[in-house]
């Protein structure tokens, strides 16, 4: 039986904005010699980092496939994929579930290029993935000029030491620069079994340290309006009230606190006026812009808008009982159920986590969206929404990691208002 052909694929992708102008790069390497066998790069328009990384993987695998004119035989090839994306490596290895709808078809496409038995995956630090990273940046630079990447213009191979495959290998005897020794080290790397991994992501204090920085949502409830002290239903279907004088003062106190902490890097807000005014006070202090996210709006409480709980009990008692008993029940008059709000908020959360991976984002929103984000992070049942207290202008926080895990770090902090 002939020995299977062996290849190393290094792939990367990036987005300048996440989502933003994006591109990928991939290189196929002969592990015995360190020779570059193929390169691929492409500007793909506006996309997220994760989409670009997956497309880089697909391009690298396709490049291997193109080097096999007769197709992959039963005894080959053997491909070691090396990437600095923990997410892609763990998902393609089958150790992490693929939850994001944009990732599922890309992972399926990557899995179809070569037989699953032919491909193994290895995570490497970013500094050891310089060739593919350089290709991805060349592709994004070309896209900025309105062009596509051209192999003839690339300097990625010239500027990248061919030590990326061999750098992590055990030393082999031989004089400095001995090509035979270098090839032996590369072959040893490719034949070395991948380290064992747990079948499911770790959580809590045992979480792996190499997941990267989380997307951290600092959740700020808007300041008071005239309806807040009277505990009236105030959602997205009512009068859209402005902040009261007390509410403006609360927003300024929050702005002072965030300016002192210096951790907020981005600000997003519900489109409703009370949130935009609260976010605007913080943004003015921090010198940041506010991005409006419609998915962060409060529940539409239908005919209950502007009423107190007691008034709703008196007028719509049966509907209120149903609403308290089931997250699928909507307020009277065509309002939103908590189940509908949860779907909207979860979709917005996923979009923001992708966009702001590794960053700290101030999310200015309302009672129900904040409670929903906390509930989902904890895996708590819908009835837990009635068991949380959220004061006006209070601060909560949730961190979202690359493996899909979330960590609730703070709930209903009002220390900045005292």
Query: 309, 344, 307: which is closest to 324 by C-alpha?
Result: 309
pLDDT of residue 302: 95
pLDDT of residue 156: 65
Cα gap 65→59, rounded to integer Å? 10
Tens digits of per-residue pLDDT, 9-27? 999 999 887 778 889 999 9
Cα gap 215→106, rounded to integer Å? 22
Query: 182, 51, 62, 39: which is closest to 111 by C-alpha?
Result: 62
pLDDT of residue 195: 41
Cα gap 3→20, rounded to integer Å? 44
pLDDT of residue 418: 87
The burial class, CB within 10 Å (0-12 / 13-18 / 19+), for 408 is middle
Cα gap 398→373, rounded to integer Å? 8
Query: 28, 92, 31: which is closest to 64 by C-alpha?
Result: 28
Residues of the chain with pLDDT under 70: 1-3, 69-76, 153, 155-212
> DSSP class of residue 308?
B
Cα gap 297→307, rounded to integer Å? 19
pLDDT of residue 194: 40
> DSSP class of residue 180?
H
Active site annotation includes 222 = yes
Strands (E) across 30-181 are located at: 36-47, 78-83, 119-123
| Token digits of residue 8 | 């190393």
Query: 352, 360, 381: which is closest to 270 by C-alpha?
Result: 352
Active site annotation includes 10 = no
Pure H helices in 67-194: 86-92, 103-113, 130-144, 156-159, 179-191
Q: Among residues 42, 53, 90, 222, which one is catalytic? A: 222
pLDDT of residue 151: 79
pLDDT of residue 298: 97
Element at 28 (helix H, strand E): strand 20-29
pLDDT of residue 158: 54
Q: What pairing do the DSSP bridges indicate for beta strands 119-123 and 406-413?
A: unpaired
Q: Among residues 42, 90, 298, 336, which one is catalytic? A: 298
ω before 342 within 30° of 0 (cis)?
no
CB count within 10 Å of CB 253 equals 17
CB count within 10 Å of CB 384 equals 14
> DSSP class of residue 9?
E
Q: Is 97 left (phi over 0), alpha (psi -120 to 50) or beta?
A: beta
Model pTM score: 0.54
**For residue 387, what are the contacts with CB-CB under 8 A and spacing of at least 6?**
none
């Amino acid at each position: 039986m002939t020995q299977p052909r062996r290849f190393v694929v290094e792939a990367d992708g990036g987005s300048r904005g996440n989502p933003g102008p994006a591109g990928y790069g991939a290189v196929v390497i002969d592990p015995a010699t360190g020779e570059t066998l193929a390169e691929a790069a492409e500007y793909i328009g506006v996309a997220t980092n994760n989409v670009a990384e997956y497309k880089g993987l697909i391009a690298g695998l396709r490049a291997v496939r193109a080097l096999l004119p007769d197709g992959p035989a039963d005894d080959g090839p053997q491909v070691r994929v090396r990437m600095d994306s923990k997410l892609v490596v763990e998902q393609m290895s089958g150790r992490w579930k693929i939850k994001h709808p944009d990732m599922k078809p890309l992972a399926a496409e990557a899995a179809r290029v070569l037989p699953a038995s032919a491909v193994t995956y290895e995570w490497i630090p970013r500094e050891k993935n310089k060739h593919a990273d350089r290709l991805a940046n060349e592709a994004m630079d070309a896209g900025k000029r309105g062009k596509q990447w051209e192999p003839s213009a690339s300097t990625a191979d010239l500027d990248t030491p061919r030590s990326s495959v061999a750098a992590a290998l055990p030393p082999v005897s031989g004089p400095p620069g001995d090509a035979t020794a270098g090839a032996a080290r590369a072959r040893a790397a490719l034949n070395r079994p991948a380290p064992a991994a747990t079948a499911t992501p770790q959580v809590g204090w045992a979480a792996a340290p190499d997941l990267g920085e989380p997307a951290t949502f600092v959740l700020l409830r808007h300041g008071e309006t005239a309806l807040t002290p009277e505990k009236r239903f105030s959602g997205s279907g009512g009068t859209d009230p402005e902040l009261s004088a007390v509410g403006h003062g609360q927003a300024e106190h929050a702005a002072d606190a965030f300016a002192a902490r210096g951790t907020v890097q981005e600000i997003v807000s519900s489109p409703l006026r009370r949130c935009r005014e609260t976010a605007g006070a913080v943004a003015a202090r921090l010198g940041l812009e506010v991005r409006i996210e419609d998915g962060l709006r409060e529940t539409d409480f239908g005919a209950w808008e502007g009423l107190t709980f007691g008034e709703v009990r008196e007028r719509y008692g049966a509907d209120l009982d149903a609403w308290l008993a089931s997250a699928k029940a909507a307020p009277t008059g065509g309002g939103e159920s908590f189940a509908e709000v949860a779907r909207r908020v979860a979709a917005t959360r996923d979009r923001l986590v992708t966009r702001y991976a590794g960053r700290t984002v101030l999310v200015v929103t309302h009672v129900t969206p904040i409670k929903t984000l906390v509930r989902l992070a904890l895996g708590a049942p819908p009835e837990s929404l009635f068991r949380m207290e959220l004061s006006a202008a209070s601060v909560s926080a949730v961190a979202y990691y690359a493996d899909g895990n979330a960590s609730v770090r703070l709930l209903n902090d009002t220390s900045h208002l005292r």
